[in-house]
Amino acid sequence: MDDWQRLYEKHETKLDQLYDDVEEGRPEGLLAFAQEYPDLLALSRYGDVTEESLLHMAARAGQTEVCQLLLELGLEPNRVYIRAGYSTALELAAGEGHLETCACLLNAGAAVDGLPLSVCTPLYAAALSGHEHVVALLLTKGAEINRLHLRYNDSALDAARGWNQQAVARQLEARGGRSISDVDVADAEGAGQSIVTFVHNTAGWVLPAVFSPSIEVPDTSLHISLLNGKVDYKLLFTVGLYNKVPMTELFICLPGDWPLPRKEWPAQGPWRFPVQMLERLGIQTLECEPLQEGCLLLRSDPAYADLSWPESVDALLVVDKPWNKEGDQEDIPEDEKVNLFILAPVKFTAKGEPSGKALTALVERKRKASWKALALDADC
């Protein structure tokens, strides 16, 4: 990054003129610069790696001809603007309603949904601002209509409704768009619904199933609960493992902005870990036996070593955390109880893996820990 900043400082005057040429649609200025300084085209604004690229600048301004030229000169269509929530050029163009620019970027290979760490999708950005034609284009190109915004954990339909973009809202509804406030009426009496209802009433709002990632475990699904009805932390949990006795379901607490995979994202990456682990443990539960409190799932265990563990996590500890601060409100017969186990992240001390009394003490601490302390670190 220091090298980039030195390059910017060395060529500051010409780069600032280039920014004006790009944003104001002067391709001749861009071509002249590219002929003299081709290696500087990849430089982010001001030489700051977290800032926007030339393609972001052109896309936001709706300069389609300049965008096309930048792409022909080799700029990457899916490069992210880190400071703006890992946004892509397509997201910026969509948010401003630049239909031709969006089409240009899509034709060049821009990811229609943005990248895994993109906080806001192009569809969400277009819906928020009421750009009907851009919304239609993105849907035609396969945009995932019910992908969640990573900070607000709501959908494009929620954004359209919230900003009174009625035409866009109707368009999304007609194509299968859902709101996080929708109730899955068809599942109200379904198998496992009592677990979902309990989590909804005790931990926080459980989103409709359509917003959850899929899991390849027989008769098992994943669900998302926004803890305390807010967006700071969320629970990803299973429903279906209760079919094995003793009955259990598994929960992982995540930061509210943790991206949950929905489509064909890269096979590796720490953001995939929660789904990978729940899938692995779900199969293990149904084919072997359920987990018990105090079980330590080690990163080094060959059964889990191939998963995309976050760097800061050495193990997951199975904890039976109390769900009601006031204590259980009713006695449930033993044969009807379902153990709702939290998989709490653990970072080993210099002493290494805890055992015996140290492990018992750790379980007790994790039982009493806040959701913040139980959440995986967002070190993706």
How much is the pLDDT for 248? 96
Quick check: 212 and 223 in contact, CB under 8 A?
yes
Q: What is the pLDDT of residue 183?
A: 73
Give the per-residue pLDDT at 270.
Answer: 78
- Give the pair of three-digit tokens for residue 373: 């302390």
Going residue by residue through the chain, which has 380 residues, state the pLDDT in tens, using 9 for 90 and above.
578 889 999 999 999 999 999 999 999 999 999 999 999 999 999 999 999 999 999 999 999 999 999 999 999 999 999 999 999 999 999 999 999 999 999 999 999 999 988 999 999 999 999 999 999 999 999 999 999 999 999 999 999 999 999 999 999 999 999 999 987 654 555 678 899 999 999 999 999 999 999 999 999 999 999 999 899 999 999 999 999 999 999 999 999 999 987 665 665 677 889 999 999 999 999 999 999 999 999 999 999 999 999 999 999 999 999 987 655 555 666 667 899 999 999 999 999 999 999 999 999 999 999 999 999 986 64
d(CA 119, CA 258): 10
For residues 320 and 366, give the distance between their C-alpha atoms in angstroms, rounded to a whole number: 9
pLDDT score of 330: 57
DSSP 102-143: HHHHHHTT--TT--TT-SS-HHHHHHHHT-HHHHHHHHHTT-
- Which pLDDT value is given to residue 331? 62
Residue 236 is given by DSSP the state E
